Amino acid sequence: MKKSKVINVSNVSGGVGKSATVIELATYFGSKGYRCLVIDADMQASATDSIGDKGAPFTEKELKILDKQIEQGNSVLKALDNCLIESVSSDLSDVMMEPEIIEGVIQKTEVHNVDLCPSSIRLCQTDKQLTDDITRSAVNRLSIALDIVKEKYDYILIDNSPAQTLVSTNTLLASDLNIIPVKLDRKSLKGMILSLKNILSVMKRNHKEIDVKILFTMVARRGRTEKLMIPWLKEQFGDMILDTLIPYQKKPAQDASLKNKQIVWTNTTLGFAYKELGEELLRVLEGVQNDKAA
């Protein structure tokens, strides 16, 4: 039986669109009939907040409940925290310690054909727990877990924190394709360089081949830097650069976040770009699959 392809989205620089890339791709793939699993490997749990149990949009009724809690003496921060914080009994931190329990941790979402392995702030302790646990390898826990569920999904997409940790090493080693989202600023480009060096180092140490692609995000429509840098980077990195450019559009992204509506379904340049990215990656992943079969 055909096993799923695993897409890891990572960059040691924050604010480059990692979570958005994962959620929009999963949403688009799901709409095309592909079964998808999102792995949230970021303790900030942005993907979990977006499509998990607490990912519902704010409503007038919800705001009235918040007002009532504040009137009853709760602080604004406490009332908001009660509404926003992701509350799950088990999450990826548990899977990293006991890979065999992954099926019990995965939850259904309201996004068509998309399931979720959630995250929480508890993931910040996982590196220490992995280091302390000497009963098995610390870097292949996620690979073991995904082997249990791979036959159920066509695509598994992993969101990452910016930090380079044992958890991020697990996500990289579990993947077939690693996408590095990059804004065209100095901080993000430095993050891209560090990410590429880390990927090459992990691949060498673990004798693992991973396809790597670079995705330009938040691209200004008439930006002078973009016009200079994109052709130059394409010349240097060749096929490693994805053709699709994700444009910078502040309002569609904000509206989608507040309404918990995926951007790919908005009638915007940004929405069309994520659709184009989805189609490009389907072609890339078909190539990855054919290479593995050869």
More confident residue, 108 or 52: 108
Over residues 264-284, the mean pLDDT reads 91
Q: Flag whether pLDDT at 293 surpasses 50.
A: no
Q: Quick one: pLDDT at residue 121?
A: 86
Mean pLDDT value of segment 8-26? 94
Q: Please, what is the average pLDDT of the chain?
A: 88
Q: State the residue for tokens 């907040």.
A: 49
Backbone phi, then psi, for 72, in 5-degree steps? -80, 0
Residue range 191-213, pLDDT digits in tens: 999 999 999 999 999 999 999 99
Does pLDDT of 10 surpass 70?
Answer: yes
Integer Cα distance of 198 and 41 in angstroms: 17
pLDDT at 148 over 90: yes
pLDDT at 9 over 70: yes
* Residue 4 per-residue DSSP state: P
Residues ≥6 apart with Cβ < 8 Å to 159: 9, 18, 19, 22, 23, 38, 39, 40, 41, 42, 46, 47
Give the mean pLDDT of 119-130: 90
In the predicted model, what is the mean pLDDT of residues 201-230? 91
Amino acid 290: pLDDT:
47
1 pLDDT above the threshold of 90: no
Whole-number pLDDT of residue 258: 46
Reply yes or no on whether the pLDDT at 190 is more than 50. yes
Look at 69-83, 88-102, 184-198 and tell me which has the smallest mean pLDDT: 69-83
The size of the chain, in residues, is: 294
Prediction pTM value: 0.84
- pLDDT of 135 reads 79
Q: How many other CB atoms are there within 10 angstroms of residue 235's CB atom?
A: 9
